[in-house]
A and B are shown apart, each in its own frame.
Chain A
Amino acid sequence: MTLPEGTPESYGPITGPEEVVFEPVVEEAGPVSPVFDEVTRQRTKEIIARYPQSRSALLPLLHLVQSVEGHVSQDGIRYCAEALELTTAEVSAVATFYTMYKRTPCGQHLVSVCTNTLCAALGGDDIYGRLTSKLGVGHEGTAGEPGTPGSITLEHAECLAACDLAPVLQVNYEYYDNQTPESAEALVDALQRGEKPHPTRGAALTDFRTVELELAGVFPDLETSAEGPSVAPESVRGAQLASERGWVAPAMPDDPPAFPALPEKK
């Protein structure tokens, strides 16, 4: 029996946890950057208005600032803090807790390779290994100038909840199912050439910033972007097999049955 490798980052001598490096604190807190323009401010108001309490808008707002800057900067943190009347410490504490908020500028595309157990056993580690050597970067590294066309940030991801389609990867959180090292390399090649190969399921590929806007809850054209296949062919295998063999759930009564009597009050 051969022993596959673990997460590549775990090689080498055993060391303590990595030190977390924060950007230097801005001494003089002036007005937040003008990159958060009037459109962003309007969207901010709309997002906050959706929730019974304003602080619930913090996760969407962090996605929103990420859609503007391609990562969550100190300025973005201050913007969210101002909008929700929180301290920057409170916002930083939240921003640093979640893996989808990136603290360094990301590429045009974010490529996430599942290297959890099942995907890894079916080739996910090989895919990640191939892409690290191709792009010359490791986890959360960016090949190319961040934000420029064809630049790619790579990461290994935990289970992406598509295990029946393993091994999977995502580009900007769109699924590419049943991958191989070769198909993944071809995909990345195409991305670097500026092409946008269509995901296996889901909407047409855009870029990292555009999908971050959608994650903030702002959908410029939802009617179109919600299109795509109903579901992956693998996901309907059970339903298909049932149709082929004439298997069905027990028939429901023609009319819904009467409700149970109103329980007596205790």
Chain B
Amino acid sequence: MTASTPDPLTPVLTRRWQSPRSWSIDTYEQLEGYQALRHALTAHPDQLIQLVKDSGLRGRGGAGFPTGMKWGFIPQGPTGPGAKPKYLVINADEGEPGTCKDIPTMMADPHSLVEGCIITSYAIRANFCAIYVRGEALHCIRRVRRAVEEAYAKGYLGRDILGSGFDLDIVVHAGAGAYICGEETALLDSLEGRRGQPRLKPPFPATSGLYASPTVVNNVETIASVPAIVQGGSDWFRSMGSEKSPGPKIYSVSGHVERPGQYEAPLGITLRQLLELAGGMKDGIPLKFWTPGGSSTPIFTAEHLDVPLDFEGAAAAGSMLGTTAVQVFNETVSVPWAVMKWTEFYKHESCGKCTPCREGTYWLVQILERMVHGQGTEADVETMLDVCDNILGRSFCALGDGATSPITSAIKYFRQEFLDLIAQQPAVERPEQLDDLVGAQA
């Protein structure tokens, strides 16, 4: 850490976004683009891996895994697993409710992603890179594809890049509408032309990824951060954020605030600070609940205004940093309703591979819809917690775990609201239903 405190906002990834035609290679090169690549190609690949390790960069896709360490897991060498082709796959399948940082990044500054891909591929010795973009993000697909074409034309891609002897091809691949493909192993299956269902780990993608070869899967924002780290160095990167969560991060503030948008700040900013920057709560209606990093991160309330939003701070307060998708809801929003909507999402997006998630989300939706439409029972709250308990930690991938987060955290902070909702409701047809059940047993 340096002695001086950085400014409240530190545009690094977003620094070019206001420029005219910021997506074009002309603008990018005028603003120092592809200089990091020239510098990186003078280094030994292992020096780049070490640099990223030293920088402390952690994955921006939600899990926060140290990026340099991930790159270091790729086996290298002329024999054994290191002799296989290696692949870089970019996870641009942004779809977690609330998360909206990668789409503006690809829209406004696709070359930072492409330059990051080239540097990363050089570091891990990959000669093929796929950028898997969510299908619904059509204009991003156009921009990234255009950026790739421009990079080929300038000799930044293809054979013998800038005379370094390094070859790289990038393909821009459109998804087809499945949230689960944001899970890295499901993404790999999808990229291989299969149903997007997660794989059992281990083996991890580092040894057995795309086409059973060593593969790094990284998020857009992670890779777009790499050129700046090469140019500024690890000490510069660490002058923002905290010891364990260094660097700048795009916070996506949405919902009931005056000026929703993308705010790039050092990791560790609080919601109180973000709300000030975003003009406060919309129309002055007080805050009720919020997510720190998308719907899969347990919700917070007004009690958590001063929680530092970095990986450690969010976890210590009982949630997760996730993708720093800060969705803000005011007092007009019913918590059981919001939880129902999120649960409908998880039910729709569950891939069906494992029973706890497929059946659990299905029954949770039934309970929540019944409750919100006026037929809740007193047992429902405990039943939901019980179902969640049978999903959490027992599902094949993190989708199931994520599905339980809004429910268990909402009940933790707003149990009374669930009970009040149930208590207000007329007991519609319930005695008859009970009679049916008793009759069925007889």
User: Which of B98, B137, B173 meets A60, CB within 8 Å?
Assistant: B173
User: Which of A172, A219, A249, A260 meets B51, CB within 8 Å?
Assistant: A260
Beta-carbon contact of B97 and A249 below 8 Å: no
Interface of A: prevailing SS: loop
User: At the interface, yes or no: B177 with Cβ under 8 Å from chain A?
Assistant: yes
User: Which of B18, B94, B338, B342 meets A240, CB within 8 Å?
Assistant: B18
Q: Given the complex, which residues of B lie within 8 Å of A62, measured CB to CB?
A: 176
- Given A3-B334, A6-B337, A253-B232 contact (CB < 8 Å): yes
Interface of B: prevailing SS: mixed
- Given A117-B341, A215-B135, A164-B254 contact (CB < 8 Å): yes
Q: In the complex the two chains form, what is the Cα distance from A55 to B195 in whole Å? A: 12
Q: Given the complex, which residues of B lie within 8 Å of A53, measured CB to CB?
A: 192, 211
Q: Given the complex, which residues of A lie within 8 Å of B228, measured CB to CB?
A: 252
Beta-carbon contact of B135 and A163 below 8 Å: no
User: Which of B173, B248, B344 meets A249, CB within 8 Å?
Assistant: B248
| Chain A residues with a Cβ closer than 8 Å to the other chain, count | 94
Beta-carbon contact of A162 and B100 below 8 Å: yes
Chain B 253-289, CB-CB to A under 8 Å as 1, else 0, gives 1111001111111000000000001100000000000
**Interfacial residues of chain A within 30-67, with CB under 8 A of chain B in the complex:** 50-53, 55-60, 62-63
Q: In the complex the two chains form, what is the Cα distance from A239 to B7 in whole Å? A: 12
Beta-carbon contact of B373 and A112 below 8 Å: no
User: At the interface, yes or no: A126 with Cβ under 8 Å from chain B?
Assistant: no
Chain A 228-266, CB-CB to B under 8 Å as 1, else 0, gives 101110111111111101011110110011011111000
Q: Given the complex, which residues of B lie within 8 Å of A245, measured CB to CB?
A: 7, 9
User: At the interface, yes or no: A157 with Cβ under 8 Å from chain B?
Assistant: yes
User: At the interface, yes or no: A28 with Cβ under 8 Å from chain B?
Assistant: no
Q: Given the complex, which residues of B lie within 8 Å of A1, measured CB to CB?
A: 331-332, 334
User: At the interface, yes or no: B71 with Cβ under 8 Å from chain A?
Assistant: no
Beta-carbon contact of A174 and B138 below 8 Å: yes
User: At the interface, yes or no: B166 with Cβ under 8 Å from chain A?
Assistant: no
Which of A94-102, A128-136, A143-151, A186-194 is the contact stretch?
Answer: A94-102
Q: Which residue of A lies closest to B351 (CB)?
A: A97
CB distance from A58 to the nearest CB of B (A): 3
User: Which of A99, A203, A216, A238 meets B177, CB within 8 Å?
Assistant: A99
Beta-carbon contact of A59 and B254 below 8 Å: no
A-B contacts at CB below 8 angstroms, number: 329
Q: Given the complex, which residues of A lie within 8 Å of B340, measured CB to CB?
A: 6
Beta-carbon contact of A223 and B146 below 8 Å: yes
Q: Given the complex, which residues of A lie within 8 Å of B394, measured CB to CB?
A: none
Q: Which residue of A lies closest to B259 (CB)?
A: A237
Q: In the complex the two chains form, what is the Cα distance from A207 to B344 in whole Å? A: 29
Beta-carbon contact of A159 and B173 below 8 Å: no
- Given A60-B174, A249-B11, A249-B248, A237-B261 contact (CB < 8 Å): yes
User: At the interface, yes or no: A26 with Cβ under 8 Å from chain B?
Assistant: no
**Interfacial residues of chain B within 160-206, with CB under 8 A of chain A in the complex:** 171-179, 190-196
Q: In the complex the two chains form, what is the Cα distance from A204 to B166 in whole Å? A: 38
User: At the interface, yes or no: B377 with Cβ under 8 Å from chain A?
Assistant: no
Chain A 102-124, CB-CB to B under 8 Å as 1, else 0, gives 00000000001001111011100
Q: In the complex the two chains form, what is the Cα distance from A219 to B144 in whole Å? A: 12
Beta-carbon contact of B50 and A260 below 8 Å: yes
**Interfacial residues of chain B within 305-357, with CB under 8 A of chain A in the complex:** 325, 327, 329, 331-334, 337-338, 340-342, 344-345, 348-349, 351
Q: Which residues of A contact B (CB under 8 A)?
A: 1-4, 6-7, 10-11, 14, 17, 50-53, 55-60, 62-63, 84, 93-94, 97-101, 112, 115-118, 120-122, 157-166, 170, 172-175, 201-203, 211, 214-217, 219, 222-223, 225-226, 228, 230-232, 234-243, 245, 247-250, 252-253, 256-257, 259-263
27 contacts between A and B (CB under 8 A): A1-B334, A4-B337, A6-B372, A6-B373, A10-B369, A50-B171, A56-B192, A59-B174, A63-B174, A98-B196, A100-B175, A118-B327, A120-B341, A161-B95, A161-B100, A162-B100, A162-B103, A173-B138, A202-B138, A226-B145, A237-B261, A237-B263, A253-B233, A259-B44, A260-B54, A262-B47, A263-B49
Given A236-B262, A238-B250: 20 more A-B contacts, CB < 8 Å: A1-B332, A6-B372, A52-B85, A53-B192, A57-B193, A58-B193, A60-B174, A121-B256, A159-B95, A162-B103, A201-B107, A203-B139, A215-B138, A226-B23, A226-B142, A226-B146, A237-B259, A249-B10, A249-B11, A256-B232
